[in-house]
């Protein structure tokens, strides 16, 4: 599989990444390089835009690596020390979920370390991920985020309670549907 990218241009003359193709079987070096760039170029919401902007080329490359990239993202999130790095990794996980990548629900122990954040940007990304994975342990933290944002709103460019509340409603809808259909199945 040939992967074209400006992101790995610095490696284009090396035997490992000749012509953007992993020639030596060291896919992990490519993943490590891409992951090491996370957080660079993140643009926050502003008065003209109510969402963050990320490097879509890098995001696409990591998302296309699918499950192979998950251990690297998990390790990255364990040590991520800036909001930009955390957001970039979370938005990649969110896009991976949209693509159907399996195993992200198993990353909840790492993701949960961000549950008490006061960052509305991180809260929204977590809510989106939890809405798609429906990890049971995430319901309580979502409720806590909603309460915190309701009493102490701290985002001037968007309302994080919309995404957080939507995630909570998805949990309720899915749980309710299971109970409703189990109780109404004709024998």
How many whole angstroms separate alpha carbon 31 and alpha carbon 29? 5
How many whole angstroms separate alpha carbon 80 and alpha carbon 122? 13
What average pLDDT does the segment 82-99 reach? Answer: 98
- Encoding tokens for residue 178? 């299971």
pTM of the entire predicted model: 0.82
How far CA 158 is from CA of 20, 47, 48, 52, 77, in Å, comes to 39, 9, 11, 11, 25
Task: Classify domain 27-183 at the CATH topology level.
Answer: 1.25.40
**Residue range 6-37, pLDDT digits in tens:** 444 433 333 434 333 344 457 888 999 999 99
The pLDDT value given to residue 32: 93
**Residue range 31-57, pLDDT digits in tens:** 999 999 999 999 999 999 999 999 999
Residues in a beta bridge with 6 = none
Q: Where are the domains of the chain?
A: 27-183
Rg (C-alpha) for the chain, rounded Å, is 19
Asked whether 170 and 148 are in contact (CB, 8 A), the reply is: no
């Amino acid at each position: 599989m040939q992967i074209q990218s400006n992101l790995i241009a610095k490696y284009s003359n090396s035997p490992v990444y000749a012509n953007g193709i992993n020639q030596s079987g060291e896919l992990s070096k490519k993943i490590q390089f891409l992951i090491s760039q996370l957080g660079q170029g993140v643009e926050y919401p502003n008065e003209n835009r109510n969402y963050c902007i990320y490097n879509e080329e890098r995001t696409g490359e990591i998302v296309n690596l699918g499950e192979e990239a998950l251990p690297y993202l998990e390790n990255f999130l364990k040590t991520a020390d800036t909001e930009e790095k955390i957001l970039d990794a979370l938005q990649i996980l969110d896009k991976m979920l949209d693509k159907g990548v399996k195993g992200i629900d198993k990353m909840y122990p790492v993701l949960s370390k961000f549950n008490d954040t006061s960052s509305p940007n991180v809260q929204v990304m977590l809510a989106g991920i939890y809405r798609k994975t429906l990890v049971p342990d995430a319901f309580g933290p979502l409720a806590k985020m909603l309460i915190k944002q309701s009493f102490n709103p701290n985002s001037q460019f968007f309302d994080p309670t919309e995404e957080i509340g939507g995630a909570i409603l998805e949990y309720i809808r899915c749980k309710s549907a299971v109970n409703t259909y189990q109780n109404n199945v004709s024998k």
